[in-house]
Structure 1
């Protein structure tokens, strides 16, 4: 049997917001995102993945190609601190015990994310903080990775998060006293996207071949 392999590393990239303020592009990083991640490879095809990522997300109506947003001129910034856990699936076998052989595979990841953010509201054209809140999101990540060096794996990925809130941008404050300040599409939730690279270091015991 082969021993299981652990990976520990970092995520470096950018973030962008999809909601009621700013651009409508799905992938358009405009803020720096940084994180750490750990993977427990259970087989060459799947691994358990845990991560922490933080970033600022922002939007500015003046950057939008939508005329109504451009003329409205709202803008916001919010902080995201995300904890995520789930399963990563490889399209091809990614057996890191074969250290002398270069491996490359596309992969997908999903699970559950819990993140901390600020509840915002917009008054007189200015975005203000109400209080700090938290909620869940569903991460959907696609990427490509390769063991570029012995004990190091490099990945490139894009990951969208469907959140359980519609107020990352101040458009739908939970505070009922601020209900008259709501704007935008109240029937859709906000999204944020992390795009970047991962670099992980692999460590484990040597493969063990046991007698029958």
Structure 2
């Protein structure tokens, strides 16, 4: 993950010398998880998450973004609509640290040459590296193991608002498909632990709904050839 981050920063350093428009921003929002414990409701933010990001606006219609996010996820069978989960009575909590690289596409032209208010819907996707606690259960007691690494695919949709030439507001909902089934402790990868596995619903998902504020810097680009 560190090699990817260093390579990406070097790439952006070269492009910054060509006087493109750049953004740096911070975001705050709610997070929820969908997996083998607790509620199966997809967009129901209840835990806190935050992120910092850098965006390179390559044209009025697309940009590249790198971000770091820190998110808490929880699950409680008592809050599930499934009677079998309520009877089981498990609950967990975990923390996800995420580094994401991706491409953002604007539905309308979002030209940073302009000074008046503007708005566009957008889509975002890419690849994420995630770090989390390897959980497992002994009976109904959750136990935290060591740190584990995996990957995730983010798919996000949002609205982008140009409030001033230097100030951009974003509102976004993101669904993240992880490549692990153990964010919730339902399928620990350590065969030496005294535990039981019960993950039967495939890999875990986590959802983020939030807003962010970014500031532009650098000279205005010329988007023409």
TM-score above 0.5, yes or no: yes
**Structure 2 matches for 1:148-187, cutoff 5 A?**
148-178=163-193, 181-185=196-200
RMSD: 2.0
Alignment CA distance shift 1:202-1:181 (3 Å): same
Name segments (4+ residues, structure 1) moved above 2 Å.
Answer: 177-180, 206-210
Alignment CA distance shift 1:200-1:190 (3 Å): same
**Structure 2 matches for 1:64-83, cutoff 5 A?**
64-83=80-99
Instruction: Report the CA distance between 1:90 and its aligned residue.
Output: 0.4
Is 1:126 matched up with 2:166?
A: no
**Structure 2 matches for 1:1-212, cutoff 5 A?**
4-99=20-115, 101-178=116-193, 181-185=196-200, 188-206=202-220
Show structure 1 runs of 5+ residues with no match. none
Identify the range of structure 1 (103-112 vs 3-12) with the bigger mean alpha-carbon deviation.
Answer: 3-12
**3-state secondary structure, aligned to 1:176:** coil
Alignment CA distance shift 1:180-1:93 (3 Å): same
Give the TM-score of the pair, scaled to structure 1.
Answer: 0.93
Give the TM-score of the pair, scaled to structure 2.
Answer: 0.88
Number of residue equivalences: 208
**3-state secondary structure, aligned to 2:192:** helix
**3-state secondary structure, aligned to 1:9:** strand
Q: Distance in 1 between matches of 2:217 and 2:24?
A: 8
Contact 1:4 1:43 in 2 (8 A): no
Show structure 2 runs of 5+ residues with no match. 1-17
